[in-house]
Amino acid sequence: MQVLFWPIHGGYTDAFVRGEHEYLLPVRSVRPGEDGVGGGGGWERARPVALDDLRGEDIDIVVLQRPEEIDLVESPTGRVPGRDLPAVYLEHNTPGPAAFTTRHPLADRRDIPIVHVTHFNRLFCDNGIAHTAVVEHGVPGPGPLYSGELARIGVVVNEPVRRWRAVGTDLLPAFTREAPLDVFGIDAGLLREAFDDDAAITGIESVAPRRLHAEFARRRVYLHPFRWTSLGLSLIEAMHLGMPVVALATTEAVRAVAAGTGVVSTDVDDLRRAARTFLEEPEWAAEVGARAREHALALYGLPAFLERWDEVLLEAIAARPGPGVVYANANSGGNATTTIAAHAR
pLDDT at res. 28: 57
For domain 150-300, the CATH class is alpha beta
What is the domain partition of the chain in residue ranges?
2-139+303-339, 150-300
Distance CA 205, CA 50 (A): 32
β-pairing verdict for 328-329 and 338-339: antiparallel
Domain formed by 2-139+303-339, architecture:
3-Layer(aba) Sandwich (3.40)
User: CA 85 to CA 13: how far, in whole Å?
Assistant: 21
Mean pLDDT of 186-210: 89
One fold for both 2-139+303-339 and 150-300?
A: yes
Q: What confidence tens digit (pLDDT) does each residue in 124-155 have?
A: 999 999 999 999 999 888 899 999 999 999 99
Query: Which DSSP category does 60 fall into?
Result: -
Burial class (CB in 10 A: 0-12, 13-18, 19+), 47: middle
pLDDT tens profile 15-55: 999 999 999 999 754 444 544 454 456 788 999 998 888 88
Return the HEC string of 158-180.
CCHHHHHHHHCHHHHHHHCCCCC
pLDDT digits (tens, 9 = 90+) for 295-311: 999 999 999 999 999 99
Alpha helical stretches, state H, 148-267: 160-163, 172-175, 191-194, 209-216, 233-241, 253-256
**Length of the chain as a residue count:** 345
**Confidence (pTM):** 0.81
d(CA 15, CA 137): 9
The pLDDT assigned to 3 comes to 97
